[in-house]
Amino acid sequence: MRSLLWGSILLLGLGGGLSPRPGTAQPEPGAVVINEILYAPSPSTNEFIELYNRSGGPIALDELAFADANRSYEPVARTDTTVRDGTHVVLVRDPKAFTAAFPSTTFLTPDDWPALNNGGDTVYLRHAPSDTPLDSVPYDPSWGGGNGRSLERIDPGGPSDTDANFASSEAASGATPGTQNSVYAPDETPPSLARAVPSQNGDSITVVFSEPVAPASISPEAFRLDSADAPAIVTAQIDDGRPAQVRFAVGSPLSTGEYRLVATGVADRRGNVRDEDSAPLSYVVADTPAPADVVVSEIMYAPSVASNEFIEVYNRSDKTLDLGTIQYADDARNFAPAAPPLTPFRPGQYAVLVRDEEAFAETYPSVEFVAPRGWDALNNGGDTVVLRHAPSGTPLDAVPFDPSWGGSDGRSLERIDPRGPSDEASNFASSTAPDGATPGAQNSRFAPDTAPPRPTFAEQVDSLTAAVVFNEPIRGESVRPARFQFEDVAVT
CA distances from 67 to 118, 134, 442 (A): 15, 12, 68
pLDDT at 476: 82
Q: Which residues contact 174 (CB under 8 A, 6 or more apart)?
A: 38, 148, 149, 150
Mean pLDDT of 459-476: 83
pLDDT at 372: 94
CA distances from 142 to 171, 215, 290, 303, 483 (A): 19, 28, 51, 41, 78
Asked whether residue 19 carries a pLDDT value surpassing 80, the answer given is no
Element (H, E) at 360: helix 357-363
> CATH topology for 294-430?
Immunoglobulin-like (2.60.40)
pLDDT at 221: 96
pLDDT band at 11 (very low <50, low <70, confident <90, very high): very low
- Could you tell me the maximum CA-CA distance found in the chain, to the nearest angstrom? 127
pTM: 0.59
Q: Which of 388, 203, 387 is nearest to 297 (CA)?
A: 387
What letter represents residue 399's amino acid? V
Looking at the chain, the whole-number percentage of residues with pLDDT higher than 70 is 94
Element (H, E) at 357: helix 357-363
Region of 170 (left: φ > 0; alpha: ψ -120 to 50; beta: rest) is: alpha
- Distance between CA atoms of residues 7 and 29, nearest Å: 28
Helix (H, G, I), strand (E, B) or coil at 110: coil
CA end-to-end span of the chain: 118
Task: State in words which class domain 3-168 has.
Answer: mainly beta
Q: pLDDT for 159-181, tens place per residue?
A: 899 999 999 999 999 999 999 99
Per-residue b or e along 258-289, where b marks 16 or more CB atoms closer than 10 Å to that residue's CB: ebebbbeebbbbbebebeebebebbbbebbeb
Q: What is the DSSP secondary-structure string of 49-107?
A: EEEEE-SSS-EEGGGEEEE-TT---EES-SSSEEE-TT-EEEEES-HHHHHHHSTT---
Asked whether residue 135 carries a pLDDT value surpassing 80, the answer given is yes
Mean pLDDT of 126-147: 96
Q: pLDDT for 417-452, tens place per residue?
A: 999 999 999 999 999 999 999 999 999 999 998 888
**Running DSSP on this structure, what letter comes out for residue 422?**
S
Do 425 and 405 form a contact (C-beta atoms < 8 A)? Answer: yes
Q: pLDDT for 336-350, tens place per residue?
A: 999 988 899 999 999
- Look up the CATH number of domain 193-283: 2.60.40.1220
Q: Which of 255, 136, 259 is nearest to 197 (CA)?
A: 259
Q: What are the residue ranges spanned by the domains of the chain?
A: 3-168, 193-283, 294-430, 455-490
Asked whether residue 4 carries a pLDDT value surpassing 60, the answer given is no
pLDDT at 471: 81
- Distance between CA atoms of residues 237 and 225, nearest Å: 16
Q: Which of 221, 220, 364 is nearest to 300 (CA)?
A: 364
CA distances from 55 to 20, 51, 59, 87, 353 (A): 18, 12, 8, 10, 53
CATH topology identical between 3-168 and 193-283: yes
Asked whether residue 491 carries a pLDDT value surpassing 70, the answer given is no
